Amino acid sequence: MTDMEQPEDIQNQTEETEAAEGSPTVEEQLETALAERDENQNRFLRSQAELDNTRKRHQRELAELRQYAAAPFVQAMLPALDNLKRAVEAAENADNVSDLKQGVEMVAKQILDVFAQHNVKAIEAVGQPFDPNRHEALQQMPSEEYPPMTVIQELEQGFILNDRVVRPSKVIVSSGPAGN
């Protein structure tokens, strides 16, 4: 009986861990499992190293982008600056205020064009409902023309970059007809 028990026991273990005949022994399975465990550990470590490198590269890229982000905008602004200097130089030799004025107006328009090319746009103000997210009310005044809480005058132009306010418009807001 004891002679028979041993083989039976082994037979049972073999059936538990082996799917088919010719399948690996427990020792072989252990060897495989240890190799897989080590391989998985290595894959984990390589992945962690890659994560680390990715984060470092990310930081470098962000720093570089921040440092040079303004370059295209600066570059686009330079011709306006050139024209401003030219307008002043031309005025040296002329006593005509209207020529200089015209030159300067063109530069102002040029700057607004550069803004537009970089998705910077003036905020609509006069006639618009007062919007505290885009307008800064400096004053409220009666108005026959505009309903209450409508912008009636723009004191300083505001601008948005894409959907973000760069500077709100400084405005005067209607308090409705003076009689009310």
Contact residues: a second copy, CB under 8 A: 3, 6, 13, 17, 26-27, 29-30, 33-34, 36-37, 40-41, 43-44, 47-48, 50-51, 54-55, 58, 61-62, 65-75, 77-78, 81-82, 84-85, 87-88, 91-92, 94-97, 100-101, 104-105, 107-108, 111-112, 115, 118-120, 156-157, 159, 161-162, 164, 166-167
Q: Residue 178 has which token pair?
A: 């003076």
Q: Which is nearer to a second copy, 59 or 139 (CB)?
A: 59
Cα 25 to Cα 75, 136, 165, distances in angstroms: 73, 80, 71
Rg of the chain over Cα atoms, rounded to whole angstroms, equals 38
**Cα-based angle 46, 52, 53 (whole degrees, multiple of 5):** 90
Report yes or no: 124 and 157 within 8 Å, Cβ to Cβ.
no
State which residue, 118 or 142, has the beta carbon closest to a second copy. Answer: 118
CB of 134 to a second copy, least distance (A): 15
Give 89 or 145: the residue with its C-beta nearer to a second copy.
89
Angle between helices 2-17 and 26-68 (to 10 degrees): 30
* Dist CA 141 CA 180 (whole Å): 12
Nearer to a second copy, 52 or 127 (CB): 52
